[in-house]
Amino acid sequence: MTTSRDRLEFDVLADHLALMLAQEDLASIEKLIRDMPPSDLVNVLEREDPDDRAIIYRLLPRELALEVFDRFNGSMRAELLTGLRDEHVVGVFEHLDPDDRAALVDELPASVSAKLFSGLSEKERKLTAPMLGYPSGAIGRHMSTEYVRVRPGMTAREAIAHVRATGEGAETVYLLMVTDDHRRLEGVVGLRDLIFALDGEAGGKDGEGGEAAGDPLTVRDLMKAPESVTASEDAETAARRAVRTTHLVTPVVDEEGRLIGILTIDDANRIIDRADEEDAARAGASEPLDRPYLVTSVATLVRSRIVWLLVLALSAILTVQVLEMFEDALAKVVTLSLFIPLLTGTAGNTGSQAATTVTRALAVGEVRLRDTWKVAWREVRVGVTMGVLLGLIGAVVAGVVYGLDFGLIIGLTLVSICTIAATVGGIMPMIARAIKADPAVFSTPFISTFCDASGLIVYFLIAKAVLGL
């Protein structure tokens, strides 16, 4: 976690680098950065503009440069590659893991991607090609094709020898894939289980299934049922399921159950973190930024916010129309206008709370589309309970200050709008999932519009009934 002291040190270092760049003192820059930890270098380089970042990066020793590049996000990688010379670009692209290479393709122009792939070795092209056959939103685009697979009939000793012979370039060897001759996934086996099985070969499994003492244990004896994901599945959904298995690796299969890759726990967590960042940004009526704030252009910041502002502005027109409908009531009892911000704010917040809770429950698999009516009924009860609590408080305060009639109006209105807002907020993410939309994107503007308009309608109808307008 970066502290305020760390941020200050990075700011000072960034200013120092800027001064040396202005003086074209590259020798001093190289001396300063070559012994810095990769994490600190990433923080510093993210603060530089693209041209200066490329210059500083070219001064890094090869191994340190590759490690720093691994820590950049996709957009930063793409931006850096466009600023490097060809010999640096080819070396960096070749070094990337196949799944990172496939992800980078989405950030680069097609002509640049084609040029980079033409410079890859035949081995790396073959490892990367399977991921490119899937859309960017599918988990197949994020899998790794560097894995070790073993056969069910191998003994523990044979399997370990196979790992030693083929596992040097694998993403991980702690959990091995077990497939038949046609690559169909049959199970998974841990390297730890194979190693400990060697100690038990002398004793075998005598007395368990009739196997003679001394028979070597096979992979079939040790393997467990696989918990796999299908390559065409949505990346976030598959990643969350992979994390719930608590395994270091999750097999990725095609529609016929053939093994085509693996998803590591760190890649799954990265997908989830990215999805959570997007949801948080969109819940705040903005789009997520791919670069640090200070190096993001003003045009990009505007684009990330303007669409949401337009949607919310259009929704406000509906609220104005509602106010116009009850213009006569407002003219007769001006006091009614004093409570509008309170009521619309309460409705919007209640709806957003419900939507956020249900969106998370959908994301982690706690609810399914078939649970829509259960969700609605639960949110009705939550809304009524919160409405009664808030309504009692509102009725007492408004009654003391403005009279019993206004206390009754505010109390009844709060009960009504909390119930409506919670129910609508709970259902909206379910509707979004049903129509294949992002719940975080779909829910926020709709809830804001609906709760404001419906809340005002309920308020004025109750006021007219109580006050006899």
Q: Which backbone phi and psi does 366 adopt, to 5 degrees?
A: -75, -25
The answer to whether residues 416 and 462 touch, using CB atoms and an 8 Å cutoff, is yes
Closest CA to 343 of 391, 404, 396: 391
Evaluate if residue 291 carries a pLDDT over 70: no
CA distance 164 to 271: 31
Helices (H), 59-142: 62-71, 74-83, 86-95, 98-105, 110-118, 122-132
Q: Grade residue 38 by pLDDT with cuts at 50, 70 and 90.
A: confident
Identify the pLDDT of residue 428.
87
Q: Which backbone phi and psi does 144 adopt, to 5 degrees?
A: -110, 140
**Residue 127 vs residues 142, 170, 313, 440: alpha-carbon distances, Å:** 13, 11, 48, 35
Q: Is 204 helix (H, G, I), strand (E, B) or coil?
A: coil
The distance in angstroms from the start CA to the end CA of the chain is 60
Q: Grade residue 222 by pLDDT with cuts at 50, 70 and 90.
A: very high
Q: Which of 83-97, 301-315, 381-395 has the lowest mean pLDDT?
A: 83-97
Residue burial 377-397, b: 16+ Cβ < 10 Å; e: rest = ebbeebbbebbeebbeebbee
The answer to whether residues 427 and 375 touch, using CB atoms and an 8 Å cutoff, is yes
Q: Which backbone phi and psi does 170 adopt, to 5 degrees?
A: -75, 155
Q: Is 152 helix (H, G, I), strand (E, B) or coil?
A: coil
The answer to whether residues 136 and 102 touch, using CB atoms and an 8 Å cutoff, is no
CA distance 238 to 348: 32
Evaluate if residue 57 carries a pLDDT over 70: yes
DSSP per-residue codes, 76-100: HHHHHHHHS-HHHHHHHHHHS-HHH
The answer to whether residues 177 and 149 touch, using CB atoms and an 8 Å cutoff, is yes
Q: What angle do CA 354, 356, 361 make, to 5 degrees?
A: 95
Number of neighbouring beta carbons within 10 Å of residue 11: 12
Q: Grade residue 210 by pLDDT with cuts at 50, 70 and 90.
A: very low
Q: Which backbone phi and psi does 205 adopt, to 5 degrees?
A: -130, 45
CA dihedral 27, 30, 33, 35 (to 10 degrees): -110
| 15-24: average pLDDT | 75
Q: Is 260 helix (H, G, I), strand (E, B) or coil?
A: strand
Q: Grade residue 445 by pLDDT with cuts at 50, 70 and 90.
A: low
The answer to whether residues 38 and 71 touch, using CB atoms and an 8 Å cutoff, is yes
| Token pair listed for 94 | 């070749």
Q: Is 351 helix (H, G, I), strand (E, B) or coil?
A: helix
DSSP per-residue codes, 299-311: HHHHHHHHHHHHH
| pLDDT tens-digit readout, 111-160 | 667 767 766 777 777 788 777 778 878 898 888 888 899 999 999 999 99
More confident residue, 267 or 39: 267
CA distance 146 to 423: 47
| 309-324: average pLDDT | 71
CA distance 413 to 463: 9
